[in-house]
Chains A and B, each alone.
Chain A
Amino acid sequence: MKTLLALGLFALCAQAVADDVLHLYNWNNYISEQTVERFEQQCGCRVVQDYYSDNEEMLAKLAAGATGYDILVPTGNAMESLIRQHALRPLDKTRLPNLKNINPVYLNTPFDPGNRYSVPYAYTLTVLGYNVEKTRELGLPTDTWAIIFEPQYLEKLKGRVTVLDSQRELMAAALKYLGYSANDTDENHWEQASRMIIRAKPYWAAFNASSYIKELTVGNIWVVHGYSNDIFQAGLDAQKAGRKFHVAASIPKEGAVLSLDSMVLHKSGPRPDLALQFIDFMLEGANSAELTNLIGSGNPNQDALRFIKPEIARNQSVFPDQRQLARLEMLRDLDRNQRRVLSRIWTKIKLE
């Protein structure tokens, strides 16, 4: 009898404790632990985090029935997909007084006109990362995608280049280089881009999702197609390790992909109130800046600028100026037939 009572109480307590939990499904390495701790203190709740390493993984897991997440942090095109699936809760903007901190440039995207569902969180650019000394020594241009696509440059870089192992990203870079939009869905253009990629492939060391950072730091790889925050990290690591070279990033003149990640509420989340509290918390400049200072990600929060370390704020590949912004594009979602065709093209690229 007593044990029954004890078990009952325990269950109740467990339930109570469980209720004050915010479930966050976020990218790997995309929030500072200190920020989370401060929020936990402020709300008197617990934050449980799960991680994904790309949008596709997140979408696939959600499609496979993962539920119970209050907040997701998808990139624009993934968010578009989620909105169209009616998987998100509309935001109660009255609970988000700090929304005014966001730079209007990043609001009202084609994915979510009027920001009914999303609040910008951070952004990254997919750019060129390079070993400054090596590229200078070899006389290579670092302001154009040609350095990873043209054999005349690649010859000097054989085995020293990596590209992202992402169908959309690599295609986007190729399309931009050829002068098309990154969101071009013309199959002929895709074929043209894929032929160019196949021509360049023999010179590339690998298609890498993330370990390219280390290689850049160590000096094995000299040019990468990668994310701005990763390259920023590589630069810092190289400095810390006392390397004799520097790592820098540049936005190629043909343009690049801007990935804006936003916080959204998944409709299966049990605590939308906590979620809104969290979003408003993250909209405070001081909190938002912590991530940027940690990993060098772009920050759409104007209030955050005064908290960001000056060397990062100055970095053009993290905070592009107006001119560069005009050359950036956000990727749109593809429909199922386009996904299938792209998948086939990607298979061919991998296999040739």
Chain B
Amino acid sequence: MRRGWGLWAAALGVYAFLYAPLLIVIVYSFNDSRLNAEWVGFTWHWYGVLLHDEDMLQAIGNSLFIAGVSSLAATVLGTMAGIAMHRYGMKVLTFMVLTPVAMPEILLGVSLLLFFIQVLNLTLGFVSIILAHITFSIGFVAVIVRARMAGIEESIFEAARDCGATPWKTFLYITFPLILPGVVSGALMAFTLSIDDFVITFFTAGVGVSTLPLRVYSMIKIAVTPEVNAVSTLLMLLTLTMIVLATRFSPEVLRGKA
């Protein structure tokens, strides 16, 4: 229709704006040149460098481990929170669950740094990073689970109660299967968030434990080579798969955080 033209053009422009920079990163990861300036030739060289970069591989391993553990814990806690928020309202819990998501990350990072050092006297490392990641991931999982819960007919729970099911049985046989897509989706989101997190990890990682974003950051600051592009491309592939899977399981993810 005629009236759509301007709108289409503008929207496509925005899509282009969103994707062009990323495509450049991917394209230049195959560029046979140290500088990310002009296209010289196609090469797998930088991926080879990546595979031999011990520090990078270690960082990737750390990131995967941290993401795995923290997303698991965040999913459990977040699911519980999501159910509680939907079922019981609970203003205080809702506040504590949602605020870490909405507030500037640096505040969370800094306060956790203070807490770990001053109160717990904890040496920063895996434990501190994992705890930090769980804290901000709970909110994401909770929101998705809550939305999922909202989509379930209340009458089902009433019927279960009438049949004499205990709350635990109701959860196990009714609630959980119904929200499972949301839970899986939340887990995938939590995993993605953990792998990608920079700001909070920056403050709560000690020495000795490096994650992928931290490594990329130090590479960006010190010596940029297309190896960064290579690792970025691979990371994008991974998180892309995760997000597509997440939205498959639970379209609530696409509704944004309401």
Contacts and interface: CB of A to CB of B under 8 A. Distances in A.
A and B touch in the complex (CB under 8 A): yes
Interface of A: 25, 28, 50, 52-53, 61, 63-69, 209-211, 214, 218
Given A25-B207, A61-B207, A64-B117, A210 B122 contact: no
Given A210-B223, A211-B224, A66 B206 contact: yes
Contact of A28 (B35, B122, B124, B222): B222
Interface of B: 35, 113, 116-117, 121-124, 206-208, 218, 221-224
Contact of B206 (A61, A210, A214): A61
Contacts of B122: 65
B218 A53 contact: yes
Contact of B124 (A52, A64, A210, A211): A64
B222 A53 contact: yes
A67 B121 CA distance: 12
Contacts of A63: 117
B123 A211 contact: no
A86 B86 CA distance: 54
B221 A66 contact: no
* Chain B residues touching A, majority SS: loop
A61 B117 CA distance: 11
Contacts of B121: 65
Given A53-B218, A211-B222, A211-B224, A64 B113 contact: yes
Given A25-B207, A61-B206, A61-B207, A66 B124 contact: yes
Contact of B208 (A53, A68, A214): A68
B45 to A, nearest CB: 18
A67 B218 contact: no
Given A61-B207, A65-B206, A66-B208, A209 B221 contact: yes
A64 B122 CA distance: 9
Q: Can you list the 5 inter-chain pairs with the closest CB atoms, starting with the nearest?
A: A66-B207, A65-B123, A61-B207, A66-B206, A210-B222
Contacts of A25: 207
Contacts of B208: 50, 66, 68
B114 to A, nearest CB: 10
A282 to B, nearest CB: 21
A53 B218 CA distance: 9
B48 to A, nearest CB: 18
Nearest to B125: A66
